[in-house]
Structure 1
Amino acid sequence: MNKFIGHLDDGRIQTLEEHLEGTATLAGQFARPFGMEEAGVLLGKNHDLGKYSSSFQAYIRGKKKRGGDHSTAGARFLWEHRKTLGPQALAGAFCIAGHHAGLPDAGTKTNQPGEKTLWGRMKNDIPEYDEIAARGFLTPAVPAERFKPFSKNLADSMMLIRMLFSCLVDADFLDTEKFMSAGTKIRGHFLSIPELAERFFFQLKTRGYLTPANRINKKRYEILSRCMEKGEGEPGLYTLTVPTGGGKTISSMAFAMKQAVKYHKQRIIYVIPYLSIIDQTAKNFKGLLGEENVLESHSSVNYDGTEEDLADRMKLASENWDAPIVITTNEQFWESLYGSRTSKCRKLHNLADSMIIFDEAQMMPLDFLTPCLKALEELVTQYGVSAVLCSATQPALSCYLTLKPREIMENIPDLYQFFNRVTWQFDGERTYDDLVAEIKTHQQALCIASTKKEAMEIYSRLADEDSFYLSTNLCPVHRMKVIDEIRRRLKEGSPCRVVSTSIISVGVDVDFPVAYLEYTGLDSLIQGAGRCNREGRKSPAESLVHIFRTEKEMKSPFMKKEKQVTQLILHLSGTEHLSEPASISSYYEEWYKNNEGNMDRKHIMEDIEKTAFREIGQKFKLIQDSTRSVFIPLNGRAEEILEKLRQGIRTRDLMREAGQFIVNVADYENSHTPSPFARLMNRGAIAWFPGDSELAYLTDPKAYDDKTGLKTEETEGLGIMW
């Protein structure tokens, strides 16, 4: 063999030396922001040592069907130089061993060859290992003192390993992509952060944000100005506490832009709690910054409808977040940060030296709050991240943080007093018929129920051409169409009565003259009340928010606890002070105190003590509900997608577009009551795609209603979509 081949493409050769060198250069660059450039180079130089084997070389030349394991050799090479290389040897062994299959669990010394733990793999027999190891590369070690900040505990050490893993995986992919595409793929070409900041503030000026005309907008401008001013401060951990309707989305981005420019941050990442509310935020930022500069990274985004060159760039950027503005979800962000798979972790190094804004911070996942806060502090203290926790109902997290956040706003009680645009009225228990009769007396009204079942009970009694229903039973495309119609009617003053779950309470800017909210947690009540008299067109006395209880008992222990804590705060503060900052703070203090045993429900911190990357990655799932996805052939485009899915096509782009037509349905094992998914399947309303037990599709058009979406009960719904 004259040369060792790294990759082949249509007769072209990338030598193994070229690939190792190219990967090392990129991995070093990616690790530079957190002081680990030498470690990145070391990983890149050694990650594919196993490809020097005669077995792999025969495979890549088409002389064998399999090339064998080529990732363990490089891992063992570093493992065997632990005394010389220090901590980076162990970190490197994890990264190289996992650069295809994902980070392994550490395991123990008792593990045997063949086991998938790092200890087990280090005992595997590797053919030709001595010859392969002779080609290993030993760079000057990262000084031990530089590792100390990352080695205070196992959680910090595991974060460093994930970051280095991300550097290696992304560098490996990019170097391979560069060769395989022969320069035809397009990456980058985004505007820089300073250029985007200039465009952002120009747009604010053009659109009148900086020259407010009315009382409400003048106060929003004061909030915006404060954020711009405080954005000149040093990076760190911040809170932004702004009442509903105060314009925190634009103001938080203004803060981030100012700080990113001054401190040369690489990107701004905007984290939103739910996929269902991401559309409006993405639309706002794309309008201000240009669609070509804003990356949406979540399960249902699709770029196929955009211009081809831009679509290619965005698809590539979504793999590793190398765009200047990234909008993502809590699920995507936190599951990546605690993931073990290459696809999850590839983007992580691009968190370093960035601005991260957490919108609706009160929705940080309770079941994982302890590991989430731990990771957040590590990002801020060791990776140059500046983070902002934004909320109208700011959670009381200070006692769970070592790093104390700085509040951006001042005179917060006065701010909440100014934005107090409603009067609370507690109605007590009401029958559905009585409640609906009162809602019908209003031309425009909003009713928010705690569950889909409650919402349906109310809506079924209200239903007419001027009434609308919103829940996740409507697929995303359908839901956005309904929201657009609601906004149109509200703007024109047309009749519009809406029954919704809490899906409308966050991220959907609507303004109703009156609201009816089912009794629930204080944070949800305040968010729901923010959809009433949002623009302050009426006095608080004229804008009633009715709080009601229904005739059905709430079964969920979680919701019962929310109501109990709310009742306590109501007793202590009284109705007139319910939405004030002091009451909100008291609510969260009591809420967290009642849930201290639930803040690490999956025992992630215990698994960290075992250095169990794979196990943590499998357990760290924010959405714990057992659900199944049902594809809804809602329109012509959905029918085209359906046909491709029936043919077994499962490209990433197709699945992302399909997500716009999917409804997730509960599926659980219960010997007494079939799950909603099982009921749909049993009555023949849905069927599995051929050879796919994960995704079903709707076969009975009567099971999807043009008003209420997917009907899990045969009696649900009022009109038919097709």
Structure 2
Amino acid sequence: MVNMSSFSELYSHPDKFLEDHLINTSKIIRSYFNEKKVAIIDKETFLKTATIISLCHDFGKATNYFQKYLFTEDEKERNKLKTMEETHHSLLSAVAAFYLVKNEINAQDRKGILFPFIAFLIVKNHHGDLKNVFNEIILDDKELEVLKKQLNSIDDEKLQVLNEKLKSAGLNENLTKSAINDYIDSINSELRKIKRELRRLKEEQDVSIYLLLNFLFSLLIDADKTEVVVGIDNIKRPEIKFEEQLVKEYKASFPDKESKINLLREEAYKEVLEKDIDIKQKIMSINLPTGLGKTLTTIAFAMKLWDKLYKETGVKYRIIYSLPFLSIIEQNSNVLEDLLRYNGIQPDTEIILKHHHLSDIRYTKNNTEFEDEQAKILIEGWNSEIIITTFVQFFHTLVSEKNKTLRKFHRLANSIIILDEVQSIPFKYWLLTKELLKAVANELNSYIIFVTATQPLIFREDEIYPLVAKTKYFTQMDRVEIIPKLSRDITLVELSEMFDLNDGKSYLFILNTIKSAQQFYNILRAKIPNDEIIYMSTHVVPMERMARIEKIKEGKIRFAVTTQLVEAGVDIDFDVVVRDIAPLDSINQSAGRCNRNWRGKGEVYVVSLIDEKGQKYSKYVYDKILLGITREILSKYDTIKEQELLKIIEKYYQEVSERMSSNEGRELLDAIYTLRYDSEDGNMCISKFELIEDDYYKVDAFIELNDEAKELWHKYVELKDIKNLFERRNIFNRFKADFYKYVISIPATVENMPPDIWGFKYVNYDSLNDYYDKETGFITKGVTSIW
């Protein structure tokens, strides 16, 4: 009998016993699952499976090969050992997990038959990305030979102690050498049986196997990384409760300004909040005109739903608020943080988290700040009660093969998911979005709230529960008129002559390309005082763009020339908006920047601009079918009143549904049904999913615009002296958000390419005049009209 107080003397990491790591990982997975109630897997099956995959996931580290690698100090020898197949631990661990799950779970339905294979895939790939499952089915002779060598190298006495420890943690079978040897001998015949089941997946068109695999994979890789870096003691969720009252009290602090728009905002707020909540209704919508206070109304409803779910189910749901653009993430997170502070709640990161590619790597809990590496793990794992994130982060968690993004997949379970400005989802992904969100709602027991002024037909009306009677609000709106001027195409010079620029009104011109916007700005600037006009595009550094938006909000600017970046969610207001033709939902979003607060009547002109070759700028940017549908609809009107917009937008989406192809979305769904995570033959696979598709190549350029930029660049260059990669990355993460305020993306084909220094094109302060115009941004030479 082995002394239970002893240790196996096997290590998972240089300072950690293997059994401790396995057992603590298992405890973390259980704690994650215990806070959830999902339909995709029953509790008993989950506990059996999770116990096995967590206690087996690093079993292969028990080999003498791995132990030798772990404690070899000579770097050259260590690197040599690292590349040896015998040192790799995941496959041996996966074979053990396959058989233990097979012996524990006897269900004969599709999920039950596939469970051992799912466990095998999860453990085999827990240090990498998921792959096409059909390439994972047969092990070759070399792999089988390596498995035998690994098994024989394990110290018998240490294995016996390890088995005793794992048995006390819930593993029902001993991982003996003879048993595992038998597993290795028969693994291929078992995997061949699985192949037959996999072939049937496409016929069934069921996303639940994909969700189950991703859910369990996510739980393991999150628990594994959290155990190593953060520790089991730092995963307890905060004691906080959300309720509608938090928003009510915050709203009560606002100055009471009675106006038509405020009365409608209040009416919409009350209608949503007075709605009886049926927790069986999983997919909902708040469809209101722009400027009607959707953000606070949505937050209030989400908190009311949170409160009801907590009282009825005992589950503390997370609130995931997803938006298409970084600019509106800042705007909305500021509102939420103010709301929490007003109610005496410190908005630590454990309560509210902003997560996008430029997020600060800072994580706080009870005013205590975590170390950089811990903070990174906690942030990227969405360890927070309210997560504000981009569509890219959200959808690339939902549709992904990547280890890094799938780590937070399990957070989609038991969440209230708000998709704001949902019209930004490309049409080709409507079907994919519908099928996956339905499955997330039903299988992972989550709630989806679509928020928009232009509700796309992702779901039929009978499939989505409206929280407001939208027609009542749209038909009362009378802030703007849309005036199509599309009988002929016009040049930029002709556009500058269309309006009396001395009429005292404010004008916003939204153009389709950076080049056309720059040219038009220069034409307009010659006609009006410099201090009354600004320009914005993605070729102006973000720091300067934000300053210009603030100037507009302060009422200091009469004329703005921009690209589409102000189209959705940016809270600016002009008397007249002029929009180069775009798809109708984009035009409607642009109209939301006109007379938002209902002072008199705003005008929105839609024109068709051409370049010096007579080519329409719109064709460089938008799908020709969407533009064609928009032209057909607008050509029937001399003027469109705001009250008519709802039925016109609905007609537009109906036409889009009938005439646009969704083949790419269907092919992606097929890849999801069949677990085709990657592909070597060029076929559609999950790894090819891109929410935002760039059809041109871009490179990042750092613009040394001022003294702050000089200092940031100096700090960046100093990083090269830090040899340790992790330390270098951690230090960069501390100032990354500020650094990227001076980074823009430029076309990779420009003739005047700045020099490449340490991964960025670098425009230093002394050469600004050669590359960067302080008003219109990067000076592009030798590229097409899109720029």
TM-score > 0.5, shorter chain as reference? yes
1:44 equivalent to 2:46? Answer no
The equivalent residue for 2:247 is 200
Structure 1 residues 110 and 528, CA gap change in structure 2 (3 angstroms): closer
Give, in whole Å, the separation in 1 of the partners of 2:241 and 2:27: 24
Structure 1 residues 156 and 221, CA gap change in structure 2 (3 angstroms): same
Structure 1 residues 310 and 382, CA gap change in structure 2 (3 angstroms): same
Structure 1 residues 190 and 711, CA gap change in structure 2 (3 angstroms): farther
| 1:173-572 superposed matches below 5 A | 173-179=225-231, 190=238, 192-194=240-242, 198-207=245-254, 213-230=258-275, 232-234=277-279, 235-264=281-310, 265-290=316-341, 291-292=347-348, 293-302=351-360, 309-310=368-369, 315-399=376-460, 404-410=463-469, 412-428=470-486, 429-437=489-497, 438=499, 440-443=501-504, 444-463=506-525, 464-488=530-554, 490=555, 494-538=556-600, 540=601, 543-552=602-611, 553-554=615-616, 555-556=619-620, 558-571=622-635
Which blocks of at least 5 consecutive residues in structure 2 are unaligned?
Answer: 1-5, 106-111, 174-200, 311-315, 342-346, 680-684, 721-727
Structure 1 residues 100 and 108, CA gap change in structure 2 (3 angstroms): closer
Q: TM-score, normalised by structure 2?
A: 0.78
Q: Is the 8 A contact 1:5 1:60 kept in 2?
A: no
The equivalent residue for 2:133 is 106
Give, in whole Å, the separation in 2 of the partners of 1:361 and 1:126: 53
Shift, 1:656, TM fit: 4.3
AA in 2 matched with 1:127: K
Structure 1 residues 612 and 281, CA gap change in structure 2 (3 angstroms): same
Give, in whole Å, the separation in 2 of the partners of 1:573 and 1:127: 78
Q: Is the 8 A contact 2:214 2:406 kept in 1?
A: yes
Give, in whole Å, the separation in 2 of the partners of 1:109 and 1:58: 28
Q: Is the 8 A contact 1:514 1:532 kept in 2?
A: yes
Give, in whole Å, the separation in 1 of the partners of 2:476 and 2:649: 16
Q: Is the 8 A contact 1:362 1:391 kept in 2?
A: yes
Give, in whole Å, the separation in 2 of the partners of 1:466 and 1:121: 71
AA in 2 matched with 1:17: E
Aligned residue pair count: 668
Q: Secondary structure at the match of 1:631?
A: strand
Shift, 1:599, TM fit: 4.6
Give, in whole Å, the separation in 2 of the partners of 1:109 and 1:456: 53
Shift, 1:392, TM fit: 0.3
1:619 equivalent to 2:688? Answer yes
Shift, 1:454, TM fit: 2.0
Structure 1 residues 38 and 658, CA gap change in structure 2 (3 angstroms): farther
- Which of 20, 23, 30 in structure 1 is aligned with 2:25? 23
Q: Is the 8 A contact 1:51 1:57 kept in 2?
A: yes
Q: Is the 8 A contact 2:531 2:557 kept in 1?
A: no
Give, in whole Å, the separation in 2 of the partners of 1:203 and 1:529: 29
Give, in whole Å, the separation in 2 of the partners of 1:219 and 1:327: 27
Q: Secondary structure at the match of 1:569?
A: helix
Structure 1 residues 355 and 306, CA gap change in structure 2 (3 angstroms): closer
Shift, 1:635, TM fit: 3.3
Q: TM-score, normalised by structure 1?
A: 0.84
What is the root-mean-square deviation of aligned Cα atoms in Å? 3.3
The equivalent residue for 1:145 is none
AA in 1 matched with 2:390: T
1:57 equivalent to 2:67? Answer yes
Determine what percentage of the aligned residue pairs are the same residue: 24
1:628 equivalent to 2:699? Answer yes
Q: Secondary structure at the match of 2:133?
A: coil
Structure 1 residues 575 and 112, CA gap change in structure 2 (3 angstroms): farther
Give, in whole Å, the separation in 2 of the partners of 1:152 and 1:25: 35
Tell me which structure has the larger Cα radius of gyration.
2
Give, in whole Å, the separation in 1 of the partners of 2:146 and 2:251: 61
- Which of 91, 94, 107 in structure 1 is aligned with 2:118? 91
Q: Secondary structure at the match of 1:332?
A: helix
Give, in whole Å, the separation in 2 of the partners of 1:192 and 1:638: 40
Structure 1 residues 430 and 46, CA gap change in structure 2 (3 angstroms): same
The equivalent residue for 2:208 is 156
Q: Is the 8 A contact 2:101 2:119 kept in 1?
A: no
Q: Secondary structure at the match of 2:360?
A: coil
1:557-610: CA deviation from partner (whole Å, max 9, x where unpaired): 734322211122235677436752221111012113222245528x32343354
Give, in whole Å, the separation in 1 of the partners of 2:650 and 2:707: 49
AA in 2 matched with 1:26: I
Give, in whole Å, the separation in 2 of the partners of 1:605 and 1:581: 31
Give, in whole Å, the separation in 2 of the partners of 1:53 and 1:314: 32
Q: Secondary structure at the match of 2:596?
A: coil
